Chain A
Amino acid sequence: MTTQQPPAAVEPRPAPPPARRDRRSWTGWGFLGPFVAVFALVFLAPIAYSIYLSLFRDQLIGGNTFVGLDNYTQALQDDRFWDSLARVSLFLVVQVPIMLGIALLIALALDSGRLYGTDFFRITIFLPYAVPAVVATLMWGFMYGTRYGLVGDINDAFGVTLPEPLSPDLVLASIGNIVTWEFVGYNMLIFYSALRVIPHSLYEAAEIDGAGQFRVITAIKLPAIRGALVIATIFSIIGSFQLFNEPNILRQLARNAITTDYTPNFYTYSLSFNGQQQNYSATVAIIMGLITMVIAYIVQLRGMRKGA
């Protein structure tokens, strides 16, 4: 639960003198209380409840019985779970670097001041963020079509036969393209915002030292936005492991290519809502949550250490 430590340095003002703090000690709770109450209801209680669920099992004989860690042992030997995890891991390793790489290149291009129409580029490339995953997937799903979609148009126009984007071999890449389209602009904006606050004086110093553009990027810009890079990476990892909406919608068009255990999240969803195996589903969800947090934590440690 401590993958993201609060940045202590952010708090700019010293704590008020003790006398005043004593006088008002509980007033803050009056303001924070409502948030904490709802937070406890929709975050903490479900976590506690799913841990509880994961320790039980509905059995034909004896009903709901305590089974200790049996569900966990079962999940760790479950090929369907490992296959789905392998799939999102592959997705993570390929899609996230491509998306963040493109986002970074655009952010650097915008920040260089060498583009015509910087503002227009920035806002337009960001726009897909406002498009719901459902609409993005429906749109791309139509365009992927080899008969009526854009892929079909290209085939007709050039007399070629492009591989089907929704075939089992390519569908993961097609999902990757949709996710990239949705989030490249958002990540670009995060990088760009971080680049904008780099102190001017650093660039002047670099010029005096005779550093070229490339050197400025590697020696000043990238180190300065490391925090933003780490955050974007962590959010992308969480997003990849949670992949659900895009495969869920795309399945309407590609039933054979996308199974109901396509991603870990899809698997837990199917277990709960089609298979009525809530206890097992909760177990798989907890394992995925733990894996996500561990990887996010490692990325944060590594990302921050490099700067030291």
Chain B
Amino acid sequence: MSTPVTTASESIPAQTAGAGKGASRLRTPRRNTPGRPKRSVLLTVLTGLMLLYTVVPLIWLVISATKTQEGLADSGGLWFADDFALWDNIRDTFTYNDGVFVRWLLNTVLYVVLGAGGATFLAILGGYALAKFNFPGKRAVFAVVIGAVAVPGTALAVPTFLMFSKMGLTDTPWAVIIPSLVSPFGLYLMWVFATEAIPTELLEAARMDGASEARTFFQVSLPLLAPGIVTVLLFTTVATWNNYFLPLIMLKDSDWYPLTLGLSVWNSQAETIGGDVIFNLVITGSLLTIVPLIAAFLLLQKYWQSGLAAGSVKE
């Protein structure tokens, strides 16, 4: 291995230790160049252009969600139309077609709770095992799991579909939940976290006191892993909430659709003959879909940024 790899690896302890204490190194302004660099208006403006690129579509989405179907056609994209129809749009989104949007929202929540929640739980258990136990086949398991990250996930989709179809799982929620249960990245992150956050001496002490392995895990180890758990949970939640390809191939019955698939169906209604054109609801539905995740990212910044830092220095 080359020098930078070792450097990166050595820096993991510092990162995770900081995260474990709940102190985010990322948020502490650090002058890393000697002397105090002068703040630059020019550089701020240049980065501001990039910021503009990022937020203009989001601003467009928020403004467009306040317009009626007619308003969308008649008014400029970056300013409000005469009618402010946001509340009407939200109400219509929730009630259109007997409230199918609510159904999709609940499906999405179901997939996230069981899929992302399950993935996080399996990653915690597995990462803990890799970090704190020695057992036959450990290296082989790790190599295979890390190698599998490079396999294009979608290359697996067709055979997974055929397998699930033989098992009678397609067109049921399980077809979406079961593949979501595996997060190699989550496993890796939890492994790095558990290695640093749980002192082996503490486990020894618990065992000396006669605690079972399960009890040691739940009462001693789990609380120490909290910041890592939040990070993995957030990223598996994004993956599940935003999943499109998997439900697209697995589900035919629109009663089981998640939000992403439902929005796509609403959007494609416009091109079917006699289809109801509801772009205002597609736009409002899109806004409602992204609000929970953006809120979660903003509220939990402190945790996931330090967690991501630990993950980003891998290799």
Contacts and interface: CB of A to CB of B under 8 A. Distances in A.
A3 interface: yes
B156 A114 contact: no
B46 A109 contact: yes
Contacts of A223: 4
Nearest to B42: A114
A112 B32 CA distance: 7
A118 B128 CA distance: 35
B107 interface: no
Interface in B42-59: 43-44, 46-48, 50-51, 53-55, 57-58
A181 interface: yes
Interface string A23-50: 0111111111011101101111111011
Interface residues of B, number: 133
A109 B47 contact: yes
Given A21-B134, A139-B61, A193 B158 contact: no
Contacts of B26: 192-193, 196
A56 B270 CA distance: 41
A9 B151 contact: no
Say what secondary structure dominates the interface of chain A. Answer: helix
Q: Size band of the A side of the interface?
A: 35 or more
Nearest to B79: A153
A247 to B, nearest CB: 12
B271 interface: yes
A135 B263 contact: yes
A167 B36 CA distance: 50
Interface of B: 1-15, 25-27, 29-35, 37-41, 43-44, 46-48, 50-51, 53-55, 57-58, 60-61, 64, 72-73, 76-78, 122-123, 125-126, 128-130, 132-136, 138-139, 141-163, 178-179, 181-182, 184, 187, 192, 195-196, 200, 213, 217, 238, 241-242, 244-245, 248-249, 259-261, 263-264, 267-268, 271, 279, 282-283, 286, 289-290, 293-294, 296-298, 301, 305, 308-309, 312-315
Given A16-B134, A193-B313, 8 more contacts: A7-B314, A10-B9, A47-B156, A139-B286, A200-B30, A227-B8, A228-B8, A238-B150
